[in-house]
């Protein structure tokens, strides 16, 4: 498979690229900052574009089989959340609306929590949740991954626990923790491994909560 990685130079995206290669597939990194290309794993195809600027995405290769979104607005507030966390997903989905692709979207644990101080200030949960809706409405097969806290687990805490729904809102690592490398493994595996169960076309949301105990 040729897998487009949106957010390829981020802390999760770099692991995704490595995992794609390890599983025998071809990563295509969507990169905005040319200086970060040297961070990508050897063998990665590179496309330069800005997810918040749809005019820079029109020449994306059309022979893509799957898309993994690990986008993050990185503290840019409401404007960044709308432009990147939501707008980036919207703009790429529009490019591939007539192309049969599989989709893996990473959002966050607690994304349905609307009343937290952090969400009230940044609206990140709101825009990530709207991005999930776009994916569900796209008509493409998809998996939505809502990981717990990154890298709070110890070396002997490497068991992935997957839960359905969004039921943890402590706002601390008590919600569940997982390594960045394992998040990448979940995202890529969800695209290349046949699902273990099927659901109706209108209810195929499969949020995944990797966590460790």
pLDDT at 195: 54
pLDDT at 82: 94
CB burial of residue 115 (10 Å; 0-12, 13-18, 19+): exposed
pLDDT at 200: 33
Residue 183 neighbours by CB distance under 10 Å: 25
Residue 198 counted as domain residue: no
Residue 200 counted as domain residue: no
Residue 126 maps to which CATH number?
3.40.50.720
pLDDT average per 10 residues of sequence, the chain (213 residues):
96 96 96 92 95 95 96 84 95 95 93 86 93 96 90 77 77 82 93 56 37 35
Number of domains in the chain: 1
Angle ∠(146,57,65) on CA atoms, nearest 5: 60
Residue 155 neighbours by CB distance under 10 Å: 6
Instruction: Please give the residue range of the domain that contains residue 76.
Output: 2-192
Residue 36 counted as domain residue: yes
In terms of Cα–Cα distance, which of 56, 58, 65, 32 is closest to 46?
32
Residue 209 counted as domain residue: no
Residue 128 counted as domain residue: yes
pTM score > 0.75 for this model?
A: yes
Residue 85 counted as domain residue: yes
Whole-number Cα distances in Å, 132 to 15, 32, 171: 22, 23, 20
Residue 67 counted as domain residue: yes
pLDDT at 205: 37
pLDDT at 210: 41
Residue 203 counted as domain residue: no
Helix, strand, coil content of the chain in percent (nearest 5): 35, 15, 50
In terms of Cα–Cα distance, which of 142, 134, 148 is closest to 93?
134
């Amino acid at each position: 498979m040729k897998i487009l990685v949106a957010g390829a130079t981020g802390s999760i995206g770099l692991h995704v690229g490595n995992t794609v290669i390890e599983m025998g597939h071809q990563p295509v990194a969507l990169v905005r900052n040319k200086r970060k290309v040297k961070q990508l794993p050897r063998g990665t195809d590179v496309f330069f574009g800005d997810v918040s600027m749809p005019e820079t995405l029109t020449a994306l290769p059309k022979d893509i089989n799957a898309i993994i979104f690990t986008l993050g607005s990185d503290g840019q507030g409401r404007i960044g959340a709308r432009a990147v966390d939501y707008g980036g997903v919207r703009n790429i989905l529009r490019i591939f609306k007539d192309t049969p692709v599989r989709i893996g979207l990473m959002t966050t644990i607690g994304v349905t929590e609307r009343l937290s101080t952090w969400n009230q200030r940044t609206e990140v949960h709101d825009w990530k949740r709207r991005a999930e809706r776009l994916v569900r409405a796209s008509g493409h097969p998809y998996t939505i991954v809502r990981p717990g806290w990154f890298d709070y687990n110890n070396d002997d805490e490497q068991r992935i626990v997957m839960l359905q729904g969004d039921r943890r809102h402590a706002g601390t690592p008590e919600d569940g923790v997982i390594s960045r490398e394992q998040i990448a493994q979940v995202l890529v595996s969800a695209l290349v491994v046949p699902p273990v169960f099927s659901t109706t076309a209108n209810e195929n949301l499969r949020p995944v909560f990797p966590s460790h105990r």
